[in-house]
Amino acid sequence: VDTKYYKKFLMKILDIPYYYDDGVSIYFNPHDSSWRVDKSQYLRNHAWMKVHEVYGTGRASAYRLFEDCLNLRDTKIYDTIEEDGKEKRVLNQAETIAAREKQNKIREEFKDWIFSDPDRRDELVDRYNDLFNQIRLPSYDGSYLKFPEMNPNIELRPHQKDAVARISMTGDNTLLHHVVGSGKTYTMGATMWKLRQHGIARKCMFVVPNHIVQQWANDLRNLLPNAKLLVASKEDFEKENRKKFVSKVALGDWDGIIIAQSSFAKIPISAERQIKKLREEIGRIEETIVAQWENNSHPRGAVKNLERIKKNREAQLKKLMDDTKKDDVLTFESLGVDFLFVDEAHNYKNLFLFTKMNNVAGISTAASQRATDLKLKCEYINELHGGDKGVVFATGTPISNSMTEMYTMQTYLGSETLKEIGINYFDAWAADFGETVTSLEMAPS
């Protein structure tokens, strides 16, 4: 929804005349997906009843509530009390409930207003269709595929052949969301064989749970007796063996490298690459700050937020550049891997989720180092292929207990596509495809 429509709606419900148009400013910050509503001094006492009674409360004005709505936040009102000589903030239940009632009123009125004008409705529907609703999913038929040198006693099932056709014809990032026992191991092995035959991949790596590394090796050898497989052992990652292992991977002509998840996490992305990515992000933030000053006469609030994010990124950059003690013999880029298969991919679902929503069930901002590391490696593989290509995830449970896991999978496998349509953070995704519902939750007892 264009910012101009949010502004038009706010001016309408608060009865702000058109000649006070420059008194209200609404900013969107793409670097943390946040919204900010500013009002000029001369509007301070304008439409007092509407701002503090009809669409707001004495403790939360309509401007604040509208800003919280844009940021998908439920308003909370706190009182400051003194306890044991210290000041403490406590939630004021009555004021909070009153503010949220007004928030719901604003949301409901916006729903009615936004589609009430035919021209506006057509523009928004067209924009939605252009962005999200113009892709027809192709269906792949792998029944024609032949697998020379594969074990003649093993016949792949139709769904397995279709999956091989999909990945080997396009090279696109793919999620094999097949139930347990449907043969994901053989699907990935046969796909690797096809990718090598077609010249799409030179070196494939399989990341598998620690306890089934040997089982995977046995299954692939059974399926492809002539495949050149390298199985990475724990000993390969001991300090004195690392150089030897890197040389073995980089110089050998391997069809597939099978590696345990714990060993995979020990192979870092190079510091140079991480520094380059941070510098690019800082550059984009600086450009946005300059644009804010050029386009607006008083963007202080918006710039303050951007400066805070920039400072945070610069601190990360400094830490990376100071960290020279690390053993840098082993980096992921030096292995020459250009196609990645991740088995049991749900083990990586705790990817950091930046969100401004508060107290919403299923949304966790806890981040695991393992997931962050995989994200960087997926980005590297995607860059090698110039798009969302080169990564295959396999899991029977991509979504187990929260809708956010759907976004996490898309972040790994479709990050370029999400960027193209302007979804850089979870909040934008949630605003487009979901709705937060407030309801009473019964305690288990």
**Predicted local distance difference test score (pLDDT) of residue 356:** 75
């409930």: which residue's tokens? 97
Residue 237: phi, psi to the nearest 5? -100, 5
**Predicted local distance difference test score (pLDDT) of residue 299:** 57
**Predicted local distance difference test score (pLDDT) of residue 243:** 81
Q: Given 3-state DSSP classes, what are the helix, strand and coil percentages for the chain, each rounded to the nearest 5?
A: 55, 10, 35
Closest CA to 257 of 338, 319, 372: 338
Higher pLDDT, 53 or 425: 53
Please give the Cα distance from 260 to 381 (Å, whole number). Answer: 19
Model confidence at 140, in pLDDT bands (50, 70, 90)?
Answer: very high
In this prediction, what percent of the chain has a pLDDT beyond 70? 96
| Three-state DSSP class for residue 431 | helix
CB 227 within 8 Å of CB 221? yes
Least confident span in 136-150, 197-211, 359-373, 420-434: 359-373
State the chain's mean pLDDT as an integer: 88
**What sign does the CA torsion over 76, 81, 83, 86 have?**
positive
């401004």: which residue's tokens? 356
The answer, yes or no, to whether residue 195 has pLDDT greater than 80, is yes
- H/E stretch holding 29 reads strand 24-29
Question: Which spans in 177-256 are helix H?
Answer: 184-198, 213-223, 242-251
How large is the average pLDDT for residues 379-390? Answer: 94
**Predicted local distance difference test score (pLDDT) of residue 234:** 83
Please give the Cα distance from 195 to 378 (Å, whole number). Answer: 18
Take residue 82 and report the two structure tokens written for it: 């003194």
Our measurement of the distance from residue 119's CA atom to the centroid of its chain's CA atoms, rounded to an integer in Å, reads: 33
**Predicted local distance difference test score (pLDDT) of residue 22:** 86
CB 413 within 8 Å of CB 174? yes
**Predicted local distance difference test score (pLDDT) of residue 295:** 63
The answer, yes or no, to whether residue 326 has pLDDT greater than 70, is no
Please give the Cα distance from 317 to 119 (Å, whole number). Answer: 47
pTM: 0.85
Closest CA to 12 of 93, 117, 89, 133: 117
CB 301 within 8 Å of CB 38? yes
